[in-house]
């Protein structure tokens, strides 16, 4: 596939709600290389606000945007349960696809998205921005350099807060069909780290519960994991932390290294110790933010 080098990359945005502002801001920050040419939302106030902010062509109908927009890639920031159908439609129309997490709320729908993009010869990108955190890039490099030796134990905690008002703000929130629960939605980025950093998972056992919120899905859960490498670990997730987000962390214990990256969103290197020394060890304080 030939890269676009003679003009700006053109994006179309589907879904003008809360998370769309991050994408609009990112495109604006890279205005020398890309531009937003179309926005789409069936809700007139949200669509109008996005069009006024970006000067992009507004569409209230997704199919019409796919048929008319002069774009290279469609960014999907709609409710999670809509991602598969909209990604497949975009691929079949010849667009590359960027979709917010989770890519789908059902395994089979995620596979269908991949198959559709493969068949159309377009790229599918799922937003996992934590991989680009300075803290986690340092951790990834240390693992690739085998500084831990054999990894024995991994612990991931996502202790966040989502009050009932958050779920009540939109009818699709807290539903199996369109949202998913604490694991699939809020902890999605941290679950991604389990495989991106440690490797393929062999088996999982979990307990989940809806302990306090009036929703269909879980607000709390715990899981025990075993990786193919033999490492074992835990995943602890809750949206009931009082009174606000407390921690998003990963701790890795290995044969020759121990690291804990914590803070509210894996943004602080709180412990970094290896048997050997490396030049990047001097930059760990700068990586925290």
Q: Each residue's pLDDT tens digit in the chain (289 positions)? A: 788 999 999 999 999 999 999 999 999 999 999 999 999 999 999 999 999 999 999 999 999 999 999 999 999 999 999 999 999 999 999 999 999 999 999 999 999 999 999 999 999 999 999 999 999 999 999 999 999 999 999 999 999 999 999 999 999 999 999 999 999 999 999 999 999 999 999 999 999 999 999 999 999 999 999 999 999 999 999 999 999 999 999 999 999 999 999 999 999 999 999 999 999 899 898 999 9
Strand order across the 34-40 sheet: 57-59, 34-40, 9-14, 73-76, 96-99, 124-126
**Single pTM value for the model:** 0.91
Tokens 């701790």 sit on residue: 251
Q: What is the pLDDT of residue 259?
A: 98
Give the pairing type, strands 34-40 and 9-14: parallel
Q: Which helix (H) or strand (E) holds 125?
A: strand 124-126
Tokens 């990108």 sit on residue: 125
List, for residues 230-272, the tens digit of each pLDDT value: 999 999 999 999 999 999 999 999 999 999 999 999 999 999 9
Tell me the backbone φ, ψ of residue 61, rounded to 5 degrees.
-120, 125
Cα-Cα-Cα-Cα dihedral of 60, 63, 65, 67, to 10°?
-150
Q: What is the pLDDT of residue 3?
A: 87
Cβ neighbours for 162, distance < 8 A, ≥ 6 positions apart: 182, 186, 213, 219, 239
Q: Under DSSP, is residue 288 helix (H, G, I), strand (E, B) or coil?
A: coil
């Amino acid at each position: 596939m030939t890269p676009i080098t003679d003009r700006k990359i053109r994006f179309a945005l589907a879904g003008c709600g809360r998370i769309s502002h991050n994408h609009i801001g990112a495109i604006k920050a890279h205005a020398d290389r890309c531009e937003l040419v179309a926005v789409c939302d069936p809700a007139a106030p949200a669509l109008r606000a996005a069009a006024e902010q970006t000067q992009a062509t507004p569409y209230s109908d997704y199919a019409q945007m796919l048929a008319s927009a002069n774009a290279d890639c469609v960014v999907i920031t709609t409710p999670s349960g809509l991602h598969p159908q909209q990604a497949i439609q975009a691929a079949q129309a010849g667009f590359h696809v960027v979709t917010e997490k989770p890519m789908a709320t059902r395994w089979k729908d995620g596979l269908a998205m991949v198959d559709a993009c493969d068949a159309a010869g377009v790229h599918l990108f799922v937003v996992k921005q934590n991989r680009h955190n300075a803290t986690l890039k340092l951790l990834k490099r240390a693992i690739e350099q085998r500084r831990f030796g054999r990894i024995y134990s991994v612990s991931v905690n996502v202790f966040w807060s989502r009050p009932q008002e958050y779920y009540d703000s939109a009818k699709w929130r807290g539903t199996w069909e369109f949202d998913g629960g604490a694991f699939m939605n809020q902890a999605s980025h941290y679950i991604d780290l389990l495989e991106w950093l440690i490797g393929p998972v062999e088996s999982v056992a979990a307990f989940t519960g809806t302990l306090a919120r009036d929703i269909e899905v879980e607000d709390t859960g715990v899981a025990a994991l075993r990786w193919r490498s033999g490492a074992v670990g835990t995943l602890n997730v809750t949206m009931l932390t009082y009174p606000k987000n407390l921690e998003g962390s990963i701790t890795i214990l290995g044969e020759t290294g121990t690291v804990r990256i914590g803070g509210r969103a894996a943004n602080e290197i709180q412990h970094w110790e290896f048997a050997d020394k490396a030049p990047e060890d001097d930059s760990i304080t700068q990586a925290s933010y």
